[in-house]
Amino acid sequence: MAVAILAFLGVAACTPTKPPLDQLDAASRALGTARDAGAAELAGPTYRAAAQRFDAAQAAEGRGEYALAADLAAESQVSSELAAAQARLARLRGEVDRMRRENAATAGDLRQAPGMEFQQ
């Protein structure tokens, strides 16, 4: 019986007793950064997953389920970071494609110039 009580107390001690405000704040800021990076448009699914998890984290915190709230906040934060990275990737890809086309066109102009040398 003593062992059972100790086990029960051990599990109870692992349950957070304070709201995970720091985690929620970090998740909120990460979501804002992703939004500013254009993730809502350029990385829609990932950004929406981050926003849904943040809403769920707030709801869990409101119900006093602090461990669940902390997990959801961490998931929201990492999804926000991923959404921001995906948005940055999309922009970079567009810019690199544009510059490749522009450089190829300029190089073509130079090659076609009659009587002019083009240094490759």
Partner 1 sequence: MTGHTRFMAVLLFAFAFADGPAHARDDDYMRLSARLDLLAADPVLGTRAPAQMELARAALAALEESGRSQRTHWIYMAEQRIDLARAAAEIEVLERTHVDLQREHDRLQLELARRDAAAARAELERQRLQSQIRAEEAERLQAEAEAARSEGEQAASAARAEAEQAKRMAAAQARATALAKKEAELAAALGEGGAPAKAPARRSLVLADSTFAQNQSTLAPGASQQIQRAVALANQDPAAKVRISVATTDRAIAEQRAKVVREAMVAAGVDPARITTTATLAKSRRIEISLQD
Residue 109 CA, chain-centre distance (Å), reads: 42
Contacts of 57 (CB under 8 A, 6+ apart): 20, 23, 24, 27, 68, 69, 70, 72, 73, 76
> What's the chain's length in residues?
120
| Closest CB 27 distance from partner 1, rounded Å | 13
Residue type, 82: L
Asked if 29 is part of the footprint of partner 1 (rule: CB under 8 A), the reply reads yes
Q: Identify whether the C-beta of residue 70 lies closer than 8 Å to the C-beta of residue 20.
A: yes
Q: Is 107 in the site for partner 1 (CB under 8 A)?
A: yes
The binder of partner 1 chosen from 28, 33, 52, 58 (CB under 8 A):
33
79 part of the interface to partner 1, by CB under 8 A: yes
Residues that bind partner 1 (CB under 8 A): 1, 3-5, 7-8, 10-11, 29, 33, 36, 71, 74-75, 78-79, 81-82, 85-86, 88-89, 92-93, 95-96, 99-100, 102-103, 106-107, 109-110, 113, 116, 118-119
